[in-house]
Structure 1
Amino acid sequence: MQPKDIVLEFYKSDIILDKIAVSQFLHPDVTVDWNSSKGFIQMNRDDILNLTDELSRAYIRSKIRISHIVAEENTVAVRYSHFVKTIENPREEMLLAHFFVIWEIKEDKLFKGFQMSQFS
C-alpha cells in the first residue's frame, strides 16, 4: 500500500475511537510532536492509544473531513477538520478542531507525526 493510501485509510475511517483499530496503523516506535493551542505535547504509542480511549469515552462518533493531502515518497501531509458527536448530544455534530499533520510512513505504518491543531 502506498503511504498516501495508508494515511487516507487511517483518517477516512471512523477508527479514531477504536483502540484496536488505531493500534494496527501505528509503528511500534511511533511518535507525534503536537503543537496545539494548549501547548506542545510529545506522544508515543501508548500515549496515542490512551488518547483514543479518552476520545471513545467522550464521543460516540468521530468524522474527519480532509481538505488537502499531499504525498512525496514516504511523507504525507494532511489538512483536516475533526467533527464529533457527544454522548450527551448524539444528534448534533460539532467541530472539535482543525488539524495539519505531516506523517512519515515506515514499514507501512504511521511512524513520525508532526501535528498542529487549533480548537474551533
Structure 2
Amino acid sequence: MDKKHKTMLAIAFIAVVGIAGLWNVDFSQGYLLVSELLEDPDKYVGHNVNTMGTVKNGTLDVSTSGISFMLEDPEDEAYEVEVVYTGVLPANLAEGAGLTVSGRMVSESRIEANKIVMGCPSKYSE
C-alpha cells in the first residue's frame, strides 16, 4: 500500500469515527426561555422542546407517581409552564433552583419532561 492509499484510508477512518460520534447529538434547537415558548405556544405543542427556568416556590410536588412543578421564566415571573417528570429525582432539585428541561410540549401550558438537568449552584452569595 502506498502513501496515497494510506492517507485516503486514514481520512475515511476519521470521517467514520466523526459521524459515529455525532450520531445521537441533537442539533435541532437550543434552549428557549419559558417566555419564548409561551409567546407562540401553538408553534411548539406536539414537539420536543428544550427550555430553562427556575422552579416556582410552592409548586414542587414529589410523589411516587412522579415529579411536577411550575417552571418560571428567570427574567419575567409572569411566564410559567407546568412540568411533569417521571424519571429519577435529580440531585439538588428544590424550589427556586435553576434548571433545564427537555421533553414534549403536550399543551400550551404543560411539558412532559424526559430529561431535567440542574443548574450549577453558585459558589458566591450576595
If the length of structure 1 is used for normalisation, what is the TM-score?
Answer: 0.28
If the length of structure 2 is used for normalisation, what is the TM-score?
Answer: 0.27
Structure with higher strand content: 1
